[in-house]
């Protein structure tokens, strides 16, 4: 068989298998053909510096990545350029989405680029965006001669990938500043052995430590690394821990805290370009998103806090999202599943006109009406964090952007083989909102990908364990100037009409004043009644046409001659009822 025919068969198989079978959380695959055609520039380069900044167009953080260009396959660019990626950490603010590209200094790969022409960034006039975000960067594993994006991995042995680009897309090197050097003859020459590691099953991102035993690791770490399978692409590439996560290093023993993006699979120790791999695989059950970095004393999760008077978070649906009954009802199915598993204090508030994502104090659920989502992204959860010290961070707000698409499957009917299940993806993204990171386990809700024609509508034991760990951490203490989150009332978690905003009655015990704050999800009848233990009505408020929204009542107790004792407060909104026990001093 001719070589070009072989390449064509391999490529067509990879393209069709992925295009119609696999989606990565809220992503659908963009083919290599589309990336080539939709990009004005294609380069090989290395990330040599990063600096975060606040956009002049929206209250969002971006990262400016300085790229040393090795070679150019399409377009004409200088030897150093600047690429902008969404998210990052700036002073006491941080932003993150698992669905978007996040680069690291030292990464080498192929970038599919277009010019960003909307704003000057840090006095730099020409900056570039990666087409299709995480899908527009092929990370290079030079030692093993592999390159990978979030869906596919290609071998470049004997320049095979370069040959594919030349034969299928007529791409060849237009300019070479410093050719990428593939392969490393010293990769397996060092006498380093991993005898064993413990534990064999662990969790990532929550401080749990892995002990690696063997020999030849070196008496000190230097630039050596422990490598884990990257959970964001199913282990196609590898990631290392942040510097603060290396606890100790000796010639025969390494202790390292497992980083958030570590997934199940074999681990490796890399020393001076040489590496040794474990014979057995590490199992990572769940992973927690972190807010740390190489400069932090610790790498640890942000906490849920009391962001509203109900001591939790209010999510606001955009009016157009809310008015689409199919989308809204399917979203709420997944929303309630998480609420009733973890009792996370999330409520649905008033609708909003906001239809984009930025730091604005509102947690918004909206369609992507401004086409802000990169190509290939169907939906994502964006988390905004605030901190008061390098190690103390909390979740400020979160947004969910969802693309209108004919790729979605709604409802409980059998899912077609070419559709992506809406409830499954929302359940996955709300897992990210709980601060769960990806895992490598094809049957797991938080696995980095989901196949079309497949439903994952169950919060499994490992997902719940991770989410509960995060909830418990958040309940330990107040943080910065924020009070800790209060758990949702378990009796109201599945109550769509009333339970989406738990009533607040205070103080309890009460004396002179009794305050009642609640939220109506629609215009309806409202009745608030106070009974003594004999069932005698002592106070009552009625409104036959109360308006949707926040509602506050204040009873002046002395005017009603209420004696000390136990009372029952009954709140009725339409046909929904809630009862609370109160004490009068």
Specify whether 9 is located in the same domain as 93: yes
Q: Is residue 45 part of a domain?
A: yes
The alpha carbon of 512 is separated from its chain's Cα centroid by a whole number of angstroms, namely 47
27 found inside a domain: yes
> Under a CB-based contact definition with an 8 Å cutoff, are residues 74 and 171 in contact?
yes
Per the domain annotation, does 487 fall within a domain?
A: no
Establish if 98 belongs to a structural domain. Answer: yes
**Whole-angstrom distance, CA of residue 584 vs CA of residue 118:** 61
Question: pTM of the full predicted structure?
Answer: 0.81
In angstroms, the CA 248 to CA 226 distance is: 12
Q: What is the largest CA-CA distance in the chain?
A: 97
- Last-in-domain residue among 176, 210, 230: 176
Comparing CA positions, the residue from 96, 217, 233, 99 lying closest to residue 154 is 233
Q: Which tokens in the block code for residue 351? A: 């609708």
Burial state string for 382-404 with b = 16 or more CB within 10 A and e = fewer than 16: bbbbbbeeeebbbbbbbbbbbbe
Interior angle at CA 449, CA 444 and CA 455, nearest 5:
60
Q: Which helix H or strand E contains 281, and what residues bound it?
A: strand 274-287
Whether residues 438 and 523 share a domain: the answer is: no
Q: Is residue 323 domain-shared with residue 283, that is, in the same domain?
A: no
What is the distance between the alpha carbons of residues 246 and 241, in angstroms, rounded to a whole number? Answer: 7
- 306 in a structural domain: no
Which among 170, 140, 376 has a CA at the least distance from the CA of 236? 140
Q: Are 463 and 430 in contact (CB under 8 A)?
A: no
d(CA 15, CA 239): 26
- 528, β-bridge pairs: 541, 571
How many domains is the chain built from?
4
Distance of alpha carbon 481 from its chain centroid, rounded?
A: 25
Residues of the chain below pLDDT 70: 1-25, 118, 184-190, 292-299, 491-492, 494-503, 519, 521-522
With respect to residue 240, please indicate whether it lies within any of the assigned structural domains. Answer: yes
Task: Check which CATH number belongs to the domain holding 170 and give it.
Answer: 2.40.50
For residue 273, the domain's CATH number is 2.60.40.10
For residue 49, what are its two tokens? 């510096």
SS3 call for 164: helix
Instruction: Give the C-alpha separation, 544 to 72, whole Å.
Output: 70
Of 117, 146, 176, the residue that ends a domain is: 176
**What per-residue confidence (pLDDT) applies to 546?**
84
Domain shared by 38 and 93, yes or no: yes
Q: What is the pLDDT of residue 547?
A: 81
Specify whether 282 is located in the same domain as 365. Answer: no
- CATH number at 545 reads 2.60.40.3080
Cβ 30 vs Cβ 135: under 8 Å: yes
Alpha-carbon span 431 to 425, nearest angstrom: 10
Element spanning 142, H or E:
none
Q: Can you give the residue range of the structural domain that contains 509?
A: 503-584
Same domain, 277 and 375: no
- Which residues does residue 510 pair with via DSSP β-bridges, in sequence order? 584
pLDDT of residue 580: 85
Residues 6+ apart with CB under 8 A from 216: 190, 191, 192, 193, 251, 271, 276
CA–CA separation, 426 and 331 (whole Å):
7
| 247-289: pLDDT as tens digits | 999 999 999 999 999 999 999 999 987 889 999 999 999 999 9
Please provide the distance, in angstroms rounded to a whole number, between the alpha carbons at the two ends of the chain: 91
Answer whether 100's CB lies under 8 Å from 133's CB.
yes
Residues 272 and 421 in one domain: no
How far apart (Å, rounded) are the C-alpha atoms in residues 443 and 404?
Answer: 26
Angle separating helix axes 422-433 and 325-342, nearest 10 degrees: 40
């Amino acid at each position: 068989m001719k070589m070009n025919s072989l390449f064509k068969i391999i490529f067509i198989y990879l393209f069709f298998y992925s295009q119609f079978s696999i989606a990565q959380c809220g992503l659908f695959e963009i083919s290599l053909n589309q990336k080539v055609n939709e990009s004005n520039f294609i380069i090989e380069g290395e990330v040599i510096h990063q600096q975060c900044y606040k956009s002049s167009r929206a209250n969002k953080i971006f990262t400016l990545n300085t790229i040393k260009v090795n070679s150019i396959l399409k377009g004409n660019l200088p030897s150093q350029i600047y690429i902008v990626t969404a998210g990052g950490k700036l002073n006491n603010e941080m932003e993150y989405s698992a669905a978007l590209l996040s680069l690291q200094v030292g990464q080498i790969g192929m970038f599919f680029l277009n010019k960003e022409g909307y704003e000057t960034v840090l006095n730099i006039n020409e900056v570039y965006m990666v087409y299709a975000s995480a899908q527009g960067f092929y990370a290079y594993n030079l030692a093993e001669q592999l390159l990978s994006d979030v869906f596919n991995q290609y071998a470049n042995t004997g320049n095979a990938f370069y040959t594919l680009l030349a034969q299928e897309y007529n791409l060849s090197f237009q300019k070479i500043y410093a050719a990428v050097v593939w392969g490393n003859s010293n990769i397996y020459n060092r006498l380093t052995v991993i005898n064993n590691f413990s534990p064999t099953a662990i969790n990532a991102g929550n401080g749990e430590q892995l002990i690696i035993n063997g020999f030849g690791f070196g008496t000190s770490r230097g630039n050596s690394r422990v490598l884990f399978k990257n959970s964001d692409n199913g282990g196609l590439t590898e990631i290392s821990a942040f510097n603060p996560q290396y606890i100790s290093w000796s010639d025969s023993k390494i202790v390292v805290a497992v980083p958030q993006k570590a997934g199940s699979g074999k681990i490796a120790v890399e020393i001076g370009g040489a590496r040794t791999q474990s014979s057995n695989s590490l199992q990572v059950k769940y992973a927690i998103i972190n807010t740390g970095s190489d400069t932090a004393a610790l790498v640890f999760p942000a906490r849920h806090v009391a962001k509203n008077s109900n001591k939790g978070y209010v999510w606001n649906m955009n009016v157009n999202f809310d008015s689409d009954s199919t989308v809204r009802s399917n979203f709420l199915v997944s929303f309630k599943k998480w609420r009733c598993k973890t009792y996370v204090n999330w409520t649905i508030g008033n609708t909003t006109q906001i239809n984009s994502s930025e730091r604005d104090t509102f947690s918004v659920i909206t369609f992507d009406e401004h086409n802000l989502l990169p190509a290939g992204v169907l939906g994502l959860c964006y988390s905004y964090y605030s901190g008061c010290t390098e190690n103390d961070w909390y979740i400020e707000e979160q947004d969910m952007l969802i693309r209108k698409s004919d790729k979605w499957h709604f409802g409980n009917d059998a899912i077609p083989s070419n559709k992506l299940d809406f409830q499954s993806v929302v359940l996955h993204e709300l897992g990210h909102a709980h601060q769960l990171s990806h895992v490598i386990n094809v049957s797991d809700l938080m696995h980095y990908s989901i196949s079309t024609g497949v439903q994952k509508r169950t919060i499994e034991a490992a997902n719940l364990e991770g989410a509960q760990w995060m909830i418990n951490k958040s309940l330990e203490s107040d943080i910065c100037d924020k009070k800790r989150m209060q758990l949702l009332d378990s009796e109201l978690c599945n109550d769509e009409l009333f339970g989406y905003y738990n009533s607040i009655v205070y103080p309890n015990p009460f004396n002179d004043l009794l305050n009642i704050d609640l939220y109506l999800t629609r215009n309806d009848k409202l009745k608030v009644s106070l009974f003594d233990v004999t069932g005698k009505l002592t106070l009552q408020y009625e409104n036959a046409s109360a308006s949707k929204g926040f509602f506050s009542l204040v009873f002046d107790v002395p005017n009603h001659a209420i004696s000390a004792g136990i009372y029952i407060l009954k709140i009725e909104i339409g046909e929904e009822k809630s009862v609370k026990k109160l004490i009068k001093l």
